[in-house]
Amino acid sequence: MNKVLEVIKSRRSIRKYLPDQLKQAELDAILEAGLYAPSAHNDQPWHFTVIRDSALLDRISRLSKELMLKSEVDWMREMGANEKLHIFYNAPVVVVVSMRKAAISPLVDCSAAIENMLLAAESLDIGSCWIGLSRFWFSLKEEVARLNLPEGYEPCYAVTLGYKGHRPEKALPRKPGTIAYLD
């Protein structure tokens, strides 16, 4: 099978990591893959903030979970109450992806950059997970100021990276009826 298609089909969200830091060359390759994502009008409206400070990651997780407890969604409140849950699964590296708000389609473009990073990580046998729960912390403007983002940018998602602490099984079956042809 084609190597790219093999990586796409083998990538899984990893939620258990070894504590070891990634080699800088591996991290650089993953970040560079994000930089090469397609973007509307070649805006490249992303900014990546790499966080390796475990105390800061713990703080972000704790504050996010406090806000999750106030959610109107039952399962989200339950996750916020889970004392064992760390929203970054104790990954040694988290990349906060921020978008330039004035771009043509910043959220879509940043999502493409994230997917490139996830696939690059898998190609290097590095675990990754796209984290949406970080948005709770992103709502705290005084906390987000810690990221020192360029003017006009706001965080949209986070990505965990680290050496895999487990090997998930094969992908779940894909939903049928999601492709139509108009010949």
For the chain, the straight-line distance linking the first and the last C-alpha, in angstroms and rounded, comes to 28
Measured torsion, CA atoms of residues 29, 130, 132, 88, in degrees rounded to the nearest 10: -80
pLDDT score of 170 = 81
Q: Is residue 19 part of a domain?
A: yes
CB count within 10 Å of CB 110 equals: 26
Q: How many domains does the chain have?
A: 1
CB count within 10 Å of CB 32 equals: 12
Look up the pTM and report it: 0.96
Q: Is residue 54 part of a domain?
A: yes
Residue 87 contacts residue 74 (beta carbons within 8 Å): no
The number of residues making up the chain comes to 183
128 pairs with which residues across the strands?
13, 161
CA contacts within 13 A on the Cβ side of 144? 21
Q: Is residue 152 part of a domain?
A: yes
pLDDT score of 169 = 81
111-115's contacts with Cβ under 8 Å and 24+ in sequence apart are: 111/157, 112/37, 112/38, 112/39, 113/34, 113/35, 113/37, 113/39, 113/46, 113/48, 114/34, 114/157, 114/159, 115/37
Residue 7 contacts residue 122 (beta carbons within 8 Å): yes
Structural domain range at position 54: 3-163
- As given in the structure block, the two tokens for residue 85 are 């849950």
pLDDT score of 95 = 98
Round to whole Å and give the CA distance between 171 and 157.
23
CATH of residue 115's domain is 3.40.109.10
Residues 28-79: tens digit of each pLDDT: 999 999 999 999 999 999 999 999 999 999 999 999 999 999 999 999 999 9
Residues of the chain with pLDDT under 50: none
CB count within 10 Å of CB 38 equals: 11
